[in-house]
Amino acid sequence: MIELTKRDQAVLEAVVTDYIQTGEPVGSRTISKRYGLKVSPATIRNVMADLEEMGFLQQPHTSAGRVPTEKGLRFYLDTLVQFRALENQERALIREAFRGKEQDVKELLQITSQILSSFCRQAGVVLWPRLTMARLRHIEFIRLRPNQIMVILISKSGLVHHSVLVWEEDIPQNELDKYSRYVNELLEDVPLGDVKRRILEEMRKEKVLFDQLYTRALEITTRAFQANLEKSELFIEGQTNLLNNPEFADVDRLRRLLHAFEDKSRIIRLLDMTLKTSSGVRIILGTESELKELQEISLISSPYRRGDTLLGVLGVIGPVRMDYSRIIPVVEFTAGLLSQILEEPEEV
Protein backbone atom coordinates (compact mmCIF):
# COMPACT_ATOMS: atom_id res chain seq x y z
CA MET A 1 0.00 0.00 0.00
CA ILE A 2 1.17 3.45 -0.93
CA GLU A 3 2.04 5.79 1.88
CA LEU A 4 0.15 9.03 2.24
CA THR A 5 2.28 12.12 1.97
CA LYS A 6 2.15 14.79 4.64
CA ARG A 7 -0.02 16.87 2.37
CA ASP A 8 -2.40 14.03 1.65
CA GLN A 9 -2.84 13.54 5.35
CA ALA A 10 -3.39 17.24 5.94
CA VAL A 11 -6.08 17.31 3.29
CA LEU A 12 -7.72 14.18 4.65
CA GLU A 13 -7.71 15.63 8.12
CA ALA A 14 -9.21 18.86 6.84
CA VAL A 15 -11.96 17.02 5.01
CA VAL A 16 -12.81 14.92 8.04
CA THR A 17 -12.73 17.86 10.40
CA ASP A 18 -14.94 19.96 8.21
CA TYR A 19 -17.31 17.13 7.48
CA ILE A 20 -17.67 16.30 11.14
CA GLN A 21 -18.49 19.89 11.85
CA THR A 22 -20.91 20.58 9.04
CA GLY A 23 -22.20 17.22 7.91
CA GLU A 24 -21.99 18.47 4.33
CA PRO A 25 -19.70 17.27 1.56
CA VAL A 26 -16.54 19.35 1.60
CA GLY A 27 -15.32 21.21 -1.50
CA SER A 28 -11.79 21.97 -2.53
CA ARG A 29 -12.26 25.69 -2.14
CA THR A 30 -13.35 25.41 1.47
CA ILE A 31 -10.30 23.41 2.38
CA SER A 32 -7.88 25.67 0.60
CA LYS A 33 -9.34 28.72 2.26
CA ARG A 34 -10.20 27.56 5.74
CA TYR A 35 -7.47 25.14 6.64
CA GLY A 36 -4.26 27.09 6.09
CA LEU A 37 -2.92 24.82 3.38
CA LYS A 38 -0.95 27.09 1.16
CA VAL A 39 -2.07 25.60 -2.11
CA SER A 40 -4.85 26.40 -4.52
CA PRO A 41 -8.17 24.62 -4.80
CA ALA A 42 -7.01 23.02 -8.02
CA THR A 43 -4.15 21.30 -6.24
CA ILE A 44 -6.47 20.20 -3.47
CA ARG A 45 -8.67 18.72 -6.13
CA ASN A 46 -5.84 16.64 -7.42
CA VAL A 47 -5.02 15.40 -3.94
CA MET A 48 -8.64 14.65 -3.28
CA ALA A 49 -8.92 12.69 -6.49
CA ASP A 50 -5.97 10.61 -5.31
CA LEU A 51 -7.48 10.08 -1.88
CA GLU A 52 -10.70 9.02 -3.52
CA GLU A 53 -8.89 6.51 -5.65
CA MET A 54 -7.30 5.09 -2.54
CA GLY A 55 -10.70 4.78 -0.90
CA PHE A 56 -10.40 7.38 1.80
CA LEU A 57 -12.92 9.76 0.34
CA GLN A 58 -15.99 9.49 -1.77
CA GLN A 59 -18.37 11.69 -3.68
CA PRO A 60 -22.11 11.46 -3.12
CA HIS A 61 -22.42 12.44 -6.78
CA THR A 62 -20.33 14.12 -9.39
CA SER A 63 -20.03 17.80 -8.72
CA ALA A 64 -20.50 17.49 -5.04
CA GLY A 65 -17.75 17.86 -2.48
CA ARG A 66 -16.10 14.89 -0.81
CA VAL A 67 -17.15 12.93 2.20
CA PRO A 68 -14.79 10.67 4.14
CA THR A 69 -15.40 6.94 3.77
CA GLU A 70 -15.24 4.64 6.73
CA LYS A 71 -11.72 3.80 5.75
CA GLY A 72 -10.92 7.50 5.75
CA LEU A 73 -12.41 7.97 9.18
CA ARG A 74 -10.57 4.95 10.48
CA PHE A 75 -7.28 6.37 9.25
CA TYR A 76 -8.16 9.71 10.80
CA LEU A 77 -8.95 8.08 14.12
CA ASP A 78 -5.87 5.89 14.08
CA THR A 79 -3.28 8.46 13.15
CA LEU A 80 -4.56 11.96 12.61
CA VAL A 81 -7.05 12.88 15.28
CA GLN A 82 -5.95 15.60 17.63
CA PHE A 83 -7.71 15.33 20.95
CA ARG A 84 -9.14 18.40 22.49
CA ALA A 85 -8.29 17.76 26.10
CA LEU A 86 -10.92 18.66 28.65
CA GLU A 87 -10.71 22.02 30.30
CA ASN A 88 -10.27 22.00 34.04
CA GLN A 89 -13.65 23.55 34.27
CA GLU A 90 -15.22 20.69 32.36
CA ARG A 91 -13.54 18.13 34.55
CA ALA A 92 -14.89 19.95 37.55
CA LEU A 93 -18.37 19.89 36.05
CA ILE A 94 -18.28 16.16 35.53
CA ARG A 95 -16.93 15.59 38.99
CA GLU A 96 -19.67 17.77 40.35
CA ALA A 97 -22.32 15.74 38.56
CA PHE A 98 -21.10 12.64 40.36
CA ARG A 99 -21.10 14.23 43.78
CA GLY A 100 -23.41 12.66 46.27
CA LYS A 101 -24.25 9.72 44.02
CA GLU A 102 -21.43 7.53 45.26
CA GLN A 103 -23.61 5.44 47.56
CA ASP A 104 -26.01 3.72 45.27
CA VAL A 105 -24.20 2.00 42.46
CA LYS A 106 -27.26 1.74 40.30
CA GLU A 107 -27.83 5.45 40.53
CA LEU A 108 -24.15 6.02 39.98
CA LEU A 109 -24.20 4.16 36.71
CA GLN A 110 -27.33 5.90 35.61
CA ILE A 111 -25.79 9.29 36.31
CA THR A 112 -22.72 8.21 34.37
CA SER A 113 -24.87 7.46 31.39
CA GLN A 114 -26.55 10.84 31.70
CA ILE A 115 -23.25 12.63 31.98
CA LEU A 116 -21.95 10.96 28.86
CA SER A 117 -25.06 11.78 26.92
CA SER A 118 -25.25 15.41 27.90
CA PHE A 119 -21.56 16.18 27.56
CA CYS A 120 -21.30 14.57 24.17
CA ARG A 121 -24.80 15.44 22.99
CA GLN A 122 -25.31 11.86 21.89
CA ALA A 123 -26.67 8.78 23.61
CA GLY A 124 -24.71 7.60 26.63
CA VAL A 125 -24.51 3.92 27.51
CA VAL A 126 -23.27 2.11 30.56
CA LEU A 127 -23.15 -1.65 30.82
CA TRP A 128 -23.77 -3.05 34.27
CA PRO A 129 -21.08 -5.15 35.72
CA ARG A 130 -21.60 -8.79 34.89
CA LEU A 131 -21.90 -10.92 37.90
CA THR A 132 -18.93 -13.01 36.83
CA MET A 133 -16.65 -10.07 37.10
CA ALA A 134 -17.84 -8.76 40.37
CA ARG A 135 -17.12 -10.13 43.74
CA LEU A 136 -19.72 -11.21 46.20
CA ARG A 137 -20.14 -9.16 49.32
CA HIS A 138 -23.26 -10.60 50.75
CA ILE A 139 -26.00 -13.11 50.12
CA GLU A 140 -29.42 -13.30 51.66
CA PHE A 141 -32.23 -15.84 51.46
CA ILE A 142 -35.76 -14.78 52.16
CA ARG A 143 -38.82 -16.97 52.19
CA LEU A 144 -41.45 -15.26 50.10
CA ARG A 145 -44.15 -17.87 50.07
CA PRO A 146 -44.21 -21.57 50.56
CA ASN A 147 -41.58 -23.04 48.25
CA GLN A 148 -40.42 -19.65 47.04
CA ILE A 149 -37.11 -18.22 48.07
CA MET A 150 -35.95 -14.80 47.12
CA VAL A 151 -32.20 -14.66 46.85
CA ILE A 152 -30.44 -11.34 47.06
CA LEU A 153 -26.85 -11.09 45.90
CA ILE A 154 -24.80 -8.02 46.63
CA SER A 155 -21.50 -7.62 44.88
CA LYS A 156 -18.49 -5.86 46.33
CA SER A 157 -19.12 -2.92 44.11
CA GLY A 158 -22.50 -2.55 45.74
CA LEU A 159 -24.73 -3.85 43.00
CA VAL A 160 -27.81 -5.74 44.04
CA HIS A 161 -29.13 -8.68 42.04
CA HIS A 162 -32.12 -10.61 43.10
CA SER A 163 -34.19 -13.45 41.85
CA VAL A 164 -36.83 -15.79 43.05
CA LEU A 165 -36.23 -19.52 43.21
CA VAL A 166 -38.90 -22.12 43.37
CA TRP A 167 -37.76 -24.83 45.73
CA GLU A 168 -39.13 -28.31 46.08
CA GLU A 169 -39.30 -28.17 49.82
CA ASP A 170 -40.61 -25.41 51.99
CA ILE A 171 -37.78 -24.09 54.11
CA PRO A 172 -38.61 -21.92 57.10
CA GLN A 173 -37.02 -18.51 57.40
CA ASN A 174 -34.87 -19.25 60.41
CA GLU A 175 -33.25 -22.09 58.55
CA LEU A 176 -32.65 -19.85 55.57
CA ASP A 177 -30.97 -17.43 57.92
CA LYS A 178 -28.54 -20.12 58.88
CA TYR A 179 -27.80 -20.81 55.24
CA SER A 180 -27.03 -17.25 54.42
CA ARG A 181 -24.80 -16.82 57.43
CA TYR A 182 -22.91 -19.88 56.42
CA VAL A 183 -22.54 -18.94 52.78
CA ASN A 184 -21.53 -15.42 53.62
CA GLU A 185 -18.64 -16.70 55.63
CA LEU A 186 -17.69 -19.27 53.09
CA LEU A 187 -17.64 -16.97 50.13
CA GLU A 188 -16.01 -13.99 51.65
CA ASP A 189 -13.85 -12.27 49.11
CA VAL A 190 -13.95 -14.96 46.50
CA PRO A 191 -14.48 -13.96 42.88
CA LEU A 192 -17.97 -14.90 41.91
CA GLY A 193 -16.78 -16.63 38.82
CA ASP A 194 -15.12 -19.16 41.05
CA VAL A 195 -18.04 -19.61 43.36
CA LYS A 196 -19.60 -22.54 41.66
CA ARG A 197 -16.37 -24.38 41.25
CA ARG A 198 -15.35 -23.64 44.78
CA ILE A 199 -18.61 -24.87 46.18
CA LEU A 200 -18.44 -28.12 44.33
CA GLU A 201 -14.89 -28.56 45.45
CA GLU A 202 -15.70 -27.99 49.08
CA MET A 203 -18.54 -30.38 48.83
CA ARG A 204 -16.30 -33.08 47.53
CA LYS A 205 -13.47 -32.42 49.89
CA GLU A 206 -15.33 -32.35 53.14
CA LYS A 207 -18.31 -34.30 52.12
CA VAL A 208 -18.73 -36.09 55.38
CA LEU A 209 -18.84 -32.90 57.36
CA PHE A 210 -21.75 -31.51 55.45
CA ASP A 211 -25.05 -32.42 56.76
CA GLN A 212 -28.04 -32.11 54.53
CA LEU A 213 -28.54 -28.56 55.75
CA TYR A 214 -25.40 -27.12 54.33
CA THR A 215 -25.56 -29.07 51.17
CA ARG A 216 -28.84 -27.45 50.54
CA ALA A 217 -27.52 -24.01 51.34
CA LEU A 218 -24.91 -24.45 48.68
CA GLU A 219 -27.38 -25.87 46.25
CA ILE A 220 -29.56 -22.83 46.59
CA THR A 221 -26.62 -20.53 46.16
CA THR A 222 -25.54 -22.30 43.04
CA ARG A 223 -28.92 -22.04 41.53
CA ALA A 224 -29.40 -18.42 42.46
CA PHE A 225 -26.04 -17.64 41.03
CA GLN A 226 -26.87 -19.37 37.81
CA ALA A 227 -30.07 -17.40 37.50
CA ASN A 228 -28.25 -14.11 37.78
CA LEU A 229 -25.16 -14.94 35.82
CA GLU A 230 -26.67 -14.15 32.48
CA LYS A 231 -28.54 -11.08 33.51
CA SER A 232 -26.86 -8.09 32.09
CA GLU A 233 -28.29 -4.67 32.22
CA LEU A 234 -27.73 -1.52 30.36
CA PHE A 235 -28.40 2.15 30.88
CA ILE A 236 -29.06 4.19 27.80
CA GLU A 237 -29.70 7.87 28.27
CA GLY A 238 -30.17 10.75 25.91
CA GLN A 239 -31.59 8.87 22.97
CA THR A 240 -33.36 12.04 21.96
CA ASN A 241 -30.00 13.67 21.44
CA LEU A 242 -29.68 11.46 18.42
CA LEU A 243 -32.66 13.15 16.88
CA ASN A 244 -30.71 16.36 16.70
CA ASN A 245 -28.31 14.87 14.22
CA PRO A 246 -29.36 15.73 10.69
CA GLU A 247 -28.43 12.21 9.61
CA PHE A 248 -31.43 10.96 11.50
CA ALA A 249 -33.91 13.44 10.12
CA ASP A 250 -35.23 10.58 8.04
CA VAL A 251 -37.93 8.90 10.08
CA ASP A 252 -37.35 5.55 8.52
CA ARG A 253 -33.70 5.49 9.43
CA LEU A 254 -34.58 6.63 12.88
CA ARG A 255 -37.08 3.86 13.27
CA ARG A 256 -34.50 1.25 12.49
CA LEU A 257 -32.08 2.82 14.92
CA LEU A 258 -34.46 3.20 17.83
CA HIS A 259 -35.68 -0.28 17.19
CA ALA A 260 -32.18 -1.54 17.73
CA PHE A 261 -32.06 0.39 20.97
CA GLU A 262 -35.26 -1.12 22.20
CA ASP A 263 -33.85 -4.58 22.07
CA LYS A 264 -31.01 -3.85 24.39
CA SER A 265 -29.46 -7.25 23.93
CA ARG A 266 -27.97 -6.10 20.65
CA ILE A 267 -26.24 -3.16 22.21
CA ILE A 268 -25.07 -5.37 25.00
CA ARG A 269 -23.52 -7.71 22.50
CA LEU A 270 -21.83 -4.79 20.84
CA LEU A 271 -20.43 -3.58 24.12
CA ASP A 272 -19.35 -7.06 24.96
CA MET A 273 -17.18 -7.00 21.90
CA THR A 274 -15.22 -4.17 23.40
CA LEU A 275 -14.89 -5.77 26.80
CA LYS A 276 -11.99 -7.80 25.54
CA THR A 277 -9.69 -4.86 25.16
CA SER A 278 -8.69 -4.62 28.74
CA SER A 279 -8.21 -0.87 28.77
CA GLY A 280 -8.31 2.30 26.78
CA VAL A 281 -10.86 3.82 24.52
CA ARG A 282 -12.10 1.75 21.66
CA ILE A 283 -14.11 2.84 18.68
CA ILE A 284 -16.40 0.78 16.55
CA LEU A 285 -17.32 2.47 13.32
CA GLY A 286 -20.47 1.71 11.36
CA THR A 287 -20.09 -1.55 9.51
CA GLU A 288 -17.36 -2.72 11.83
CA SER A 289 -20.08 -3.64 14.28
CA GLU A 290 -21.40 -6.49 12.14
CA LEU A 291 -24.89 -5.80 13.43
CA LYS A 292 -26.90 -4.65 10.51
CA GLU A 293 -29.22 -2.42 12.51
CA LEU A 294 -26.29 -0.47 13.80
CA GLN A 295 -24.36 0.02 10.62
CA GLU A 296 -25.10 3.70 10.58
CA ILE A 297 -23.94 4.44 14.05
CA SER A 298 -20.68 4.27 15.83
CA LEU A 299 -19.64 3.55 19.37
CA ILE A 300 -16.89 5.07 21.46
CA SER A 301 -16.34 2.96 24.51
CA SER A 302 -14.02 2.38 27.39
CA PRO A 303 -14.05 -0.22 30.12
CA TYR A 304 -14.23 0.79 33.74
CA ARG A 305 -12.84 -1.13 36.63
CA ARG A 306 -12.64 -1.49 40.35
CA GLY A 307 -9.07 -2.00 41.30
CA ASP A 308 -7.83 -4.69 38.99
CA THR A 309 -11.21 -6.12 38.20
CA LEU A 310 -12.84 -5.19 34.94
CA LEU A 311 -16.40 -4.28 35.79
CA GLY A 312 -18.09 -3.15 32.65
CA VAL A 313 -18.06 -0.82 29.70
CA LEU A 314 -19.32 2.69 29.22
CA GLY A 315 -19.46 4.83 26.14
CA VAL A 316 -21.21 7.04 23.70
CA ILE A 317 -23.36 6.01 20.77
CA GLY A 318 -24.01 8.35 17.90
CA PRO A 319 -23.91 8.68 14.16
CA VAL A 320 -20.68 7.82 12.40
CA ARG A 321 -20.16 11.54 12.06
CA MET A 322 -19.31 12.60 15.58
CA ASP A 323 -16.90 14.98 17.18
CA TYR A 324 -14.38 12.31 18.12
CA SER A 325 -11.69 14.79 19.09
CA ARG A 326 -13.82 15.85 21.99
CA ILE A 327 -15.83 12.75 22.79
CA ILE A 328 -12.86 10.44 23.14
CA PRO A 329 -11.35 12.49 25.95
CA VAL A 330 -14.72 12.75 27.65
CA VAL A 331 -15.24 8.99 27.56
CA GLU A 332 -11.73 8.38 28.76
CA PHE A 333 -12.00 10.82 31.60
CA THR A 334 -15.40 9.58 32.69
CA ALA A 335 -14.28 5.98 32.70
CA GLY A 336 -11.30 6.92 34.81
CA LEU A 337 -13.39 8.92 37.21
CA LEU A 338 -15.97 6.20 37.61
CA SER A 339 -13.26 3.64 38.27
CA GLN A 340 -11.84 5.98 40.86
CA ILE A 341 -15.17 6.43 42.59
CA LEU A 342 -15.71 2.67 42.69
CA GLU A 343 -12.22 2.28 44.11
CA GLU A 344 -13.47 3.20 47.54
CA PRO A 345 -11.56 2.23 50.66
CA GLU A 346 -12.05 -1.42 51.51
CA GLU A 347 -14.21 -2.08 54.50
CA VAL A 348 -12.46 -2.93 57.71
Binding partner of residue 143 among its own copies, DNA, none, CB under 5 to 8 Å per kind? its own copies
213 scored as a contact of DNA (CB under 7 A): no
Q: Are 154 and 162 in contact (CB under 8 A)?
A: no
| Span from 73-81, 88-96, 156-164, 319-327 in contact with its own copies (CB under 8 A) | 156-164
Q: 36 or 146: whose CB is closer to its own copies?
A: 146
Q: 58 or 114: whose CB is closer to DNA?
A: 58
Which residue from 40, 147, 173, 279 is in contact with DNA, where contact means CB under 7 A?
Answer: 40
203 scored as a contact of its own copies (CB under 8 A): no
226 scored as a contact of its own copies (CB under 8 A): no
186 scored as a contact of its own copies (CB under 8 A): no
Q: Are 220 and 253 in contact (CB under 8 A)?
A: no
Q: 26 or 80: whose CB is closer to DNA?
A: 26
Which residue from 42, 92, 166, 213 is in contact with its own copies, where contact means CB under 8 A?
Answer: 166
Q: 37 or 142: whose CB is closer to DNA?
A: 37
Distance in angstroms (rounded) separating the CA atoms of residues 134 and 193: 8
Between 99 and 128, how does the x/- string for binding to its own copies read (CB under 8 A)?
A: ----xx------------------------
| Span from 27-35, 128-136, 172-180, 231-239 in contact with DNA (CB under 7 A) | 27-35
Which residue from 12, 13, 19, 28 is in contact with DNA, where contact means CB under 7 A?
Answer: 28
- Which residues contribute to the site for its own copies (CB under 8 A)? 103-104, 137-138, 140, 142-146, 148, 150, 152, 154, 158, 160, 162-164, 166, 237-240, 243-244, 248-249, 251, 254-255, 258-259, 262, 344-348
